[in-house]
Structure formats: C-alpha cells, structure tokens
Amino acid sequence: MVVLSLAIGLAEQDDFANLPDLQEVPTSQETPPDKSRNMGNKPVNSPKGHPPDADGHSSVSDLANSLTGDMVMLSPGSEDDDHEGPVSEKLGRIQFSLGYSFQDTTLTVKILKGQDLPAKDFSGTSDPFVKIYLLPDRKHKLETKIKRKNLNPHWNETFLFEGFPYEKVRERTLYLQVLDYDRFSRNDPIGEVSIPLNKVELGQLKTFWKDLKPCSDGSGSRGDLLLSLCYNPTANTITVNIIKARNLKAMDIGGASDPYVKVWLMHKDKRVEKKKTVTIKRCLNPVFNESFPFDVPAHVLRETTIIITVMDKDRLSRNDVIGKIYLSWKSGPAEVKHWKDMLSRPRTNVAQWHTLKA
C-alpha cells in the first residue's frame, strides 16, 4: 500500500470536457482495499508464431490465413478502404477502485489490472505501469510497479491520499496514465483515463472498468505517415514505399521541421538493415515517394518487424524523433491490418495511413 499525505490548498480545477458515464462493475466483483502491493498474477505470455513446416519453410498463404485467428482484435477495414485516414487503434482498458473514508478523511485508489493493452515494443509486447495524479496537482504523483512483457497486467496495488477533506476531494480529477517502461529512452504513453471525482459516489469502495483514451500530453499529435508495403514471395522481398506525411509535429523553434524517414529491418531483437529517405527542409507535409526493398525469406516473416521512424534533421544538435511505426504480424491493430493485407495481396503495393507514435 502506498500512502500520500497532502496539504490541501485552494486550487482551481482544470476545465475538462464532458466525460461519458463510468461503467460500474457489479457489487459482487468489487474488490476490497488490500494492504499488499504484490498480488499480481504471473505475466501473460505474448503471442508466439507457429513453427515452420518440416522442410524449414512456412507457407505464405498459411501465414495470411492464420493472422485473423492469431490476433484477438483487428481494426475494421477492407481491401476497398480509400486510405483517407489512419485506422483507429484500440488502447485497451483499465480496472480500478475508488472510495472515501469520512472518518479518516482518506481517499483510496486501487489499481487492479489492465486488459488488451497494445504492444509498444518491437518484440510484440509492453512493460506497463500506471501513474496516478489528483489534478490540478501534477507535483505529487504515485506509480505502480512495472509488469514486464505483459499486455494484460495485474497490479492490485492500493494508494491512500490521507488528510484530504471531502469537499476538496470533489474539486479534484483522478488522472491515470498507463505507460510502457523503456530502459534506454523515454517511456511510451499507452493511454489515459480522467475521472472528475464530483461525478463519482465515493461513500463506499466501488470498482470500475474504463477504456483508455489517447494521451493528451502531445504524444497523440505527431502527425500521420502514408506508406505502402509490397510482398513478393518469389523474390522473398518486402518493398517499403514511403509516400508522404501530413501534419507533422513542429520540432524547431521557428515552427517547422526538416523531416526524413529511417526504415529498419529487424529480425527478432536484432537490427538487420537500415535505409533512409532524403531530408525535406522546413516542411510539415513532406512528399517522399522513395522505395526500399528488403530481403525477407518466408520462414522468418513471423519474426520480422519493420520499424519506421520519422526524424527531424538538426544541424547543430542531435536529430529529434518525431514519431515511430512498428510493422509486424503482432503489432497494434492498425499495423497488423496493414501486414495482413500485404500478405494476402502479394506483388501489390498496399497503401495505408498510420498515426505516428512516441
């Protein structure tokens, strides 16, 4: 159990948009407060590919046909899509409990578990944890433990906000942000939930499910990239065509960027080959139209990931990352749809818009 004692001052509440009503879990599923931080279940293993055929080669048609069965959740779409925008991506959901003790003037927040979180790492999984705020106060935050390689994590951790008068609690907004821990770089936001506490009956501990929404800290406004994939099973190649980008995030002081695109071919966790486009100066809607072929034998398709990174060129300092896309059969729903379409339509340039991610 984590306890945070707060000295409450007068502060104006942030202006939040109208939120949909919470989905309350029936009383029989309510979870009482727990003193322990270590009640999580064992991590759920990430999906694994099927082994190759006896002769050492996987059937391309089998791969394409098995994708729908392997992936629990695919974004809507068909071969007739007009590619006018990115496919909407599901971010999963989170279960948590809320309650207030009038006797102890203490708000209890229990983070229970997450479900169907997207994979943020190129290995096809995530290392999720949750940050907890009572807005508008962003100086005091609490965090859960990190659940390694787990898209359905169980945290079961209890947090207490002590010395908190009820009239002040109702002026606050509970903000939960789910992130993917990254040891070597900035943590990747997965999604968020904002709950104005004046809309919740806090007299007894109640348990809720809430869908995660795109994070509003700027991570969801990096722009979009249009690209096509073409798989040639005869030549054992995947050709990546970087077509154009739109509404890229301005990374320079002058309100522009100098974008270029890096394309990495990954096998398992190893980098195999890198290619990149030219740099387009001072442009947030660049057109590239550059193609890059990569050798990818059929028997390694399930262990292949293509990482596409849109960069901002900087002459005087380190180049900045604008956003990334991970393409494989086990990435997020939008990426899986593109990968599946590529395999089901060999020798065809299959184009799709993708939203850039942090």
In the chain, pLDDT over 70 holds for what percent of residues?
72
Q: Is residue 29 part of a domain?
A: no
Q: Contact, 176 vs 132, CB < 8 A?
A: yes
Other CB atoms within 10 A of residue 181 CB = 15
- Can you list the alpha helix ranges (DSSP code H) found in 58-174? 60-70, 166-169
Q: By residue range, what is the domain housing residue 321?
A: 223-356
For residues 313 and 262, state if they share a domain. Answer: yes
Q: Is residue 24 part of a domain?
A: no
Rounded Cα distance between 168 and 210, Å, is: 24
For residues 210 and 259, state if they share a domain. Answer: no
Rounded Cα distance between 248 and 281, Å, is: 13
Q: Is residue 351 part of a domain?
A: yes
For residues 142 and 231, state if they share a domain. Answer: no
> pTM (2 decimals)?
0.47
Q: Is residue 286 part of a domain?
A: yes
For residues 177 and 267, state if they share a domain. Answer: no
For residues 158 and 227, state if they share a domain. Answer: no
Rounded Cα distance between 44 and 106, Å, is: 34
Boundary-marking domain end, from 182, 214, 246? 214
Residue 351 β-bridge partners = 228
Boundary-marking domain end, from 214, 244, 272? 214
CATH number reported for the structural domain that contains residue 149 in this entry? 2.60.40.150
Supply the DSSP symbol for 184.
S
Per-residue pLDDT of the chain (358 residues; tens, 9 = 90+): 665 554 444 333 343 333 344 444 443 343 333 333 333 333 333 333 344 443 444 444 444 444 433 333 333 333 333 344 444 568 999 999 999 999 999 999 999 999 999 888 767 789 999 999 998 887 778 999 999 999 999 999 999 999 889 999 999 999 999 999 877 666 778 899 999 999 898 988 999 999 998 876 544 478 999 999 999 999 999 999 999 999 998 887 677 899 999 999 998 878 999 999 999 999 999 999 999 999 999 999 989 999 999 999 987 777 888 989 999 987 778 898 999 999 999 999 999 999 898 7
Boundary-marking domain end, from 153, 180, 214? 214
How many domains in the chain?
Answer: 2
Question: Which amino acid is it at 166?
Answer: Y
For residues 183 and 293, state if they share a domain. Answer: no
